[in-house]
Amino acid sequence: MSITFKLDVLKPHQPNSPTLARALKQIEGVKYVNIRVEEIDQKTTSIIIFIRGNEGLLLDKIVEVLDGNNCALHSVDEVTIQDD
Amino acid sequence: MSITFKLDVLKPHQPNSPTLARALKQIEGVKYVNIRVEEIDQKTTSIIIFIRGNEGLLLDKIVEVLDGNNCALHSVDEVTIQDD
Amino acid sequence: MSITFKLDVLKPHQPNSPTLARALKQIEGVKYVNIRVEEIDQKTTSIIIFIRGNEGLLLDKIVEVLDGNNCALHSVDEVTIQDD
Amino acid sequence: MSITFKLDVLKPHQPNSPTLARALKQIEGVKYVNIRVEEIDQKTTSIIIFIRGNEGLLLDKIVEVLDGNNCALHSVDEVTIQDD
Amino acid sequence: MSITFKLDVLKPHQPNSPTLARALKQIEGVKYVNIRVEEIDQKTTSIIIFIRGNEGLLLDKIVEVLDGNNCALHSVDEVTIQDD
Amino acid sequence: MSITFKLDVLKPHQPNSPTLARALKQIEGVKYVNIRVEEIDQKTTSIIIFIRGNEGLLLDKIVEVLDGNNCALHSVDEVTIQDD
Amino acid sequence: MSITFKLDVLKPHQPNSPTLARALKQIEGVKYVNIRVEEIDQKTTSIIIFIRGNEGLLLDKIVEVLDGNNCALHSVDEVTIQDD
């Protein structure tokens, strides 16, 4: 079973997207991370994150990593759970 | 044989989509759940749910889980039944 | 050999689409049924039905099941016959 | 070798598309028939026919079956001949 | 190695497209011919021809067949040469 | 390893595209050539060339063949290098 | 595990895209480089670079090669990390 989240997130200019992607990839069970920049403002960057992991991947754990990188979850746009 | 429903649903802000998706995934025979946020209003969120299960998956059972999560089924937009 | 019909149908609000889909799926030789809601009016719902079966699937038999569910065939939009 | 025709045809309301499709499918060597309704007028229906057969499938034979069903070939929009 | 031409051609109403397609298919080494009608005028029909053959297929040979069918090559819109 | 170039090129009306394509295909290591006509002016034709070869395919060699056919490289629009 | 970057970069007219692509391809672990020209101005060219490598491919190393070719990284538009 795998779970995929599409998240709308506000990121400060630092850390950059590759650093944030590597941090998210290190969460246990995560197999895929994609970060796409949507809009760059003066102090923040709007990003869309796709993150896929196994059954145990919890939103709380993702938010914890986002918080640790000064990012704020704006909304969960999509979630998919499927058998392998 | 499998059956797939596309449902238009009104959800309060709580529970969030991942929680609702996990609840729907636990219905017997369900193999796939996808929840996409369409529109966020002051008190409710319009969501589209795709849910696929085996032959025995009944709409009544899905509605029961939606009710238990304070969600209201607005309409069944699409249904597909096919042999495996 | 298989035959696929795309049908434009008027349905009363009852039975709902899943009930109608299960009734159509029970016609002998039917392998696939898809019902998509196009427009919901006060008393009726416009639906598009895709139904695929083996060579023996006749339009008359489909119309018989539609009639039995108080649905009216508006038009046959597409038909495909192909060797397997 | 196979040959595929895309034909623009005028059909009276009777016979209906499934009947015409079955008649075309019975031409020797025909493997695939698809009829799509483009426009319904008061007395006629504009349809697009895709028909694929083996090397020996002649347009004359198709027109003969169309004539026998009171249909008029308006134009040949596309033809494809290819080795298998 | 194969070569594919996309040709913009003016055709009189006779011969019809299927006849022209069969004539082009008989050129040595031709594996695929597709003729699509673009526009029908009073005396001529604008057609697009895709024709694919092996390495030895020359444009001159194609033009010879077009000439023999009273068709005029207007332009070569695309050509592709690739190893198999 | 293979390299693919997308080139924007000005071509006189002679040589025609098939002749130019065959000349480019004869460069050592070239596996694929596609020439698409973009615009035909009074004296020149704007063409887009896709050309793929193995690691040793140099732009200089391509330009040499273009020069030899009286064509002028206007710009390199895209280049892709990938492991096989 | 592989990592893919989509980068928005300003390039002087020299070096040309193929030269830059070959330089990026020589970074250790890089498997794919694609450079697409977006806009050509008087002194600079806006390009989009897709570059994919194995886990060890760092943005710093890419920027080092861009610097060495007088190119400036404008923004990281997208980054993807996935298990093989």
Mean per-residue pLDDT for C13-40? 97
Per-residue confidence at E84, pLDDT binned at 50, 70, 90?
confident
Q: In whole angstroms, what is the distance from residue F68 CA to residue A60 CA?
A: 65
| SS3 sequence of chain C | CEEEEEEEEEEECCCCHHHHHHHHHCCCCEEEEEEEEEEECCCEEEEEEEEEEECCCCHHHHHHHHHHCCCEEEEEEEEEEECC
Which amino acid is residue B47, in one-letter code?
I
Q: Measured between CB atoms, which of C59, C78, C81 is closest to D36?
A: C78
- CB-side neighbour CA atoms (13 Å) of F22: 12
Q: Is F59 on the interface with G (CB under 8 A)?
A: yes
B75 with C37: Cβ contact below 8 A: yes
Check if the beta carbon of residue D51 is closer than 8 Å to that of residue D32: yes
Quote the minimal CA–CA distance from D22 to chain E in Å: 23
Is residue B56 within a helix (H) or strand (E), and if so which, with residue range? none
Q: In whole angstroms, what is the distance from residue G73 CA to residue A11 CA?
A: 19
Q: Is A80 on the interface with B (CB under 8 A)?
A: yes
User: Of A4-8, A16-20, E39-43, E58-62, where does mean pLDDT reach its minimum?
Assistant: E39-43
Q: Which subunits have 3 or more CB–CB pairs within 8 Å of chain A?
A: B, G
SS3 B20: helix
B6: nearest Cα among A59, G81, C34: C34
Compute CA distances A35 → A54, C66, F50, G80, whole Å: 19, 48, 31, 6
Contacts of D75 in chain E (CB under 8 A): 37, 40
In the C/D pair of chains, how many CB contacts fall below 8 A?
40
Quote the minimal CA–CA distance from B62 to chain C in Å: 12
- CB-side neighbour CA atoms (13 Å) of E5: 29
Token pair for B59: 């709409």
Contacts of G22 in chain F (CB under 8 A): 81
- List beta partners, residue D51: D5, D33
Check if the beta carbon of residue D16 is closer than 8 Å to that of residue D45: no
Per-residue confidence at G25, pLDDT binned at 50, 70, 90?
very high
Q: Is the alpha carbon torsion for B83, B84, C3, C7 positive or negative?
A: positive
Check if the beta carbon of residue C31 is closer than 8 Å to that of residue C2: yes
Q: Measured between CB atoms, which of C17, C22, C34 is closest to B76?
A: C17
Q: In whole angstroms, what is the distance from residue B47 CA to residue C77 CA?
A: 31
Spacing of C-alpha B8 from chain mean position: 8
Q: Is B40 on the interface with C (CB under 8 A)?
A: no
Q: Is F76 on the interface with G (CB under 8 A)?
A: yes
Quote the minimal CA–CA distance from B31 to chain A in Å: 5
- Specify the pLDDT at position D26: 97
Q: Is F84 on the interface with G (CB under 8 A)?
A: no
Mean per-residue pLDDT for E42-63? 96
Token pair for C18: 């899943």
- Specify the pLDDT at position F18: 97
Q: Is C37 on the interface with D (CB under 8 A)?
A: no
Quote the minimal CA–CA distance from F37 to chain E in Å: 5
DSSP codes joined into one string, D35-78: EEEEEE-SSEEEEEEEEEEETT--HHHHHHHHHHTT-EEEEEEE
Mean per-residue pLDDT for G3-18? 97
Question: What are chain D's domains?
Answer: 2-82 (3.30.70.1340)
Checking if the pLDDT of C84 tops 90, the result is no
Mean per-residue pLDDT for A1-20? 97
Contacts of E17 in chain D (CB under 8 A): 76, 78-79
Check if the beta carbon of residue F43 is closer than 8 Å to that of residue F12: yes
Contacts of F47 in chain E (CB under 8 A): none
Q: Is D83 on the interface with E (CB under 8 A)?
A: yes
Per-residue confidence at D84, pLDDT binned at 50, 70, 90?
confident
Residues 6 or more apart from A55 whose CB is under 8 A from it?
Answer: A1, A2, A3, A29
Phi, psi of E37 (to 5 degrees): -80, 130
Per-residue confidence at G84, pLDDT binned at 50, 70, 90?
confident
C35 with B77: Cβ contact below 8 A: no
- Specify the pLDDT at position A31: 97
Report percent pLDDT > 90 for chain A. Answer: 98
D5: nearest Cα among D82, D75, D79: D79
Which amino acid is residue C33, in one-letter code?
V
SS3 G17: helix
Q: Which residue has the tokens 């290098």?
A: F81
Is residue A69 within a helix (H) or strand (E), and if so which, with residue range? none
Encode pLDDT of A15-51 as tens digits. 999 999 999 999 999 999 999 999 999 999 999 999 9
Q: In whole angstroms, what is the distance from residue G69 CA to residue G74 CA?
A: 15
- Specify the pLDDT at position F7: 98
Strands (E), G1-84: 2-12, 30-40, 44-54, 72-82
Which candidate in C78, C83, C84 is best for mutational testing of the D interface (most D CBs within 10 A)? C78
G36 with F3: Cβ contact below 8 A: no
- Specify the pLDDT at position B44: 95
Mean per-residue pLDDT for B23-27? 97
Contacts of C83 in chain D (CB under 8 A): 31-32
Token pair for G64: 């080092």
Token pair for E53: 């053959």
Quote the minimal CA–CA distance from E35 to chain D in Å: 5
G75 with A32: Cβ contact below 8 A: no
- Output the average pLDDT for chain A: 97
SS3 E59: helix
In the D/E pair of chains, how many CB contacts fall below 8 A?
41
Encode pLDDT of C38-81 as tens digits. 999 999 999 999 999 999 999 999 999 999 999 999 999 999 99
Q: Is A17 on the interface with G (CB under 8 A)?
A: yes
Check if the beta carbon of residue G71 is closer than 8 Å to that of residue G10: yes
Contacts of D25 in chain C (CB under 8 A): 1, 81
SS3 G7: strand
Q: Which residue has the tokens 């060579």?
A: C55
Encode pLDDT of D1-59 as tens digits. 999 999 999 999 999 999 999 999 999 999 999 999 999 999 999 999 999 999 999 99
Quote the minimal CA–CA distance from D19 to chain E in Å: 25
Output the tens digit of pLDDT for each of chain F's 84 residues.
999 999 999 999 999 999 999 999 999 999 999 999 999 999 999 999 999 999 999 999 999 999 999 999 999 999 999 998
Residues 6 or more apart from D61 whose CB is under 8 A from it?
Answer: D27
Token pair for B79: 């249904």
- Specify the pLDDT at position G12: 97
Q: Do E and D count as touching (3 or more CB pairs closer than 8 A)?
A: yes
Check if the beta carbon of residue E74 is closer than 8 Å to that of residue E8: yes
E35: nearest Cα among D78, G20, A70: D78
H-assigned helices in B1-84: 17-25, 59-68
- Output the average pLDDT for chain G: 97
In the A/G pair of chains, how many CB contacts fall below 8 A?
41
Is residue B11 within a helix (H) or strand (E), and if so which, with residue range? strand B2-12
Classify burial at D63, counting beta carbons within 10 Å of its beta carbon; exposed 0-12, middle 13-18, buried 19 or more.
middle
Quote the minimal CA–CA distance from G5 to chain F in Å: 14
Compute CA distances C41 → A1, C5, C47, C74, C75, whole Å: 40, 24, 11, 15, 18
Q: In whole angstroms, what is the distance from residue F20 CA to residue F14 CA?
A: 9
G18 with F76: Cβ contact below 8 A: yes
SS3 E13: coil
Q: In whole angstroms, what is the distance from residue C52 CA to residue C31 CA?
A: 6
Token pair for A50: 């796709």
Q: Measured between CB atoms, which of G16, G22, G35 is closest to F78?
A: G35
Q: Is G77 on the interface with A (CB under 8 A)?
A: yes
Q: In whole angstroms, what is the distance from residue G3 CA to residue G54 CA?
A: 6
